[in-house]
Structure 1
Amino acid sequence: MKLNTGSLKNFGIHIIIVIIVMAVATLLFFYSYLPLVTNKGESITVPDLHGLNMKDIDDFITKRNLRYEINDSTYSDEHPPLTILKQYPKPGSKVKENRKIFISVNRVTPPNVPFPHQLIGSSSLKGAEAVLKSTELKPGKILYKPSPFFDLVLDMKWNGKSLKEGDMIPKGSVIDLIAGDGHAARNFKAPKLVGLELEEALFYIKGVRLATGIITVENDTTEQKSFVIKQHPGEGQNVQLGDLVDLWIVPETDSLYQLLFQSEETDGSLDQ
């Protein structure tokens, strides 16, 4: 049987064409299609969103194939309103595209906090300033007025108005403090110290420019709060600047202390 030379030639050409097509297809698969499919789930580095304003966040996030959701709002007077304060995942984390970033945004208006009324008449300036800072309020101007109680907080004002128990004020508000200047007549009446905790009594003695005399411990006060059950000079007696005040103290578990306050509560209820 005689083979047709032309047919063999055509067959060879077809084989070569098939090989070329397969080679091209293989190259396209590995260098075009496969990378496209693989890179679809490629990880993305989470950008740092801290300090950005919400009006700028949409384009910033969309361009990076990510999403966001506000899951919290808090207040900081150190940043403008609607500033991003926190984010999760953290900057630099690796995530898949279209991942949702949770953000915390600075509130437009500050929340209200209760006014610490307990400071008036019982706290020194230093103590009041510490409490204000701990409640995220700011100590403002310090004004003095005549009073024998030096540095004792006599009043607190916000925007020029005196504050009272139950008042709510915006977080970050500036509170002005009015304190005693320690100037008083040389002769005055001794304050009531009976019933006060020892530390509070010593503060009052110093505030009115008297001096602490002998402190008599009537019972063991180790590791317990001590309270004044007797004083000399007594409440209302005439004293002068620098006079000594003697104190008698007992622990709060002592029967004398309990009897003292039970009698005071009983007298108070009878007066009503």
Structure 2
Amino acid sequence: MLKSLFNWKVLLNLVLAAGVFVGLVYLTFRWLEYHTNHGQEVPVPNVINKSVHDAVKILEDAGLDYEVDSAAYNPKYRPLQVLKVYPSPGSRVKDGRAIQLMVNPKSWAPVAIPDVINKYSGLAFQRLEQVGLKVSDTIYEPSIQKDAVLRILFKGNPIKPGTKIPRFSLVDVVVGSGPLRNISVPNVVGLTVKEAKMVIARNLFELGSVNHEDGGNDDSDIVYYQDPASGDIRDQGMQIDLWASKKTPAELRNKINELNSIYRMKIDTTLPPIRYEEVPYVDEPVITEPAPAPVVPQRKEVPKQDPAKSGTSATKAPTDKPKASATPASQPQDKPKAKKVIN
């Protein structure tokens, strides 16, 4: 067994195998050095504060690749200005290495318009400011939705909620100022339903029920009756009901008379007009109550002291009884005497 291992043929095979292995390892490392450009390094150029276009050209001339990333917009720097470079300038990297550039964007990041349509204007303004938008002008427009946001304008054009615009952009807000009063109802009889809808909306009214004679829903039907009637005075936002048919109003005279008996007020012209006479106005006498007499406070009488009794106290009550009156009591009168008669 040991003798067979030391056979020259076996030893020759072992030497050949070791040589092949060493050769493969050497060729592998040489290929890696060539493929990775081992030993060939270039310094990263300083492109900070340059525009991204100039930075890209400098990197390409140096044999380096690049990756551009944008940070949050900073108004202190120019748009598309290079703020940072990684690896840092002066570092030695291999030829073809990708250099990361941090660039200031052109403007603020876009924000979506919040859905504040038909919302109270005070809350809508707060919502717009929270997302980073500024209200430039408030436009008031007649509407039954008083103090509600009707539209949002960006550069003079209506913009839908969810549309993205640059942050800190100026927008105009259209707010309802309340309904108009005493508006004349337009005449839509003879128009198609489609045309009547546009006329009603243009005159600041709302479309009510549409009654089609055949029970369909064709906007090409002709309006032969409306309520309220044309020329009536109503407020903005009131509903106008329509009756439509394929026929013309002249062909539906009986139907129109029937509707008039229901929706139109009848006025009896046979009654004499009411006459109003003016009654002269007489001022009623005004009775004034006499003013109450002023109350005079009564003075309390203080008993006088007897000067003969100066030695006695002034506070001692008198003990003498009151003296009888000196005037004698009245005596009864004597009866008259009878006269003597002399014969």
- Shorter-chain TM-score: which interval? 0.3 to 0.5
- Specify which structure has the bigger relative contact order, considering alpha-carbon pairs within 8 angstroms and separated by 6 or more residues: 1
**TM-score, L = length of structure 2:** 0.29
- Structure number with the higher helix fraction is 1
**TM-score, L = length of structure 1:** 0.34
- Larger Rg over CA atoms: 2
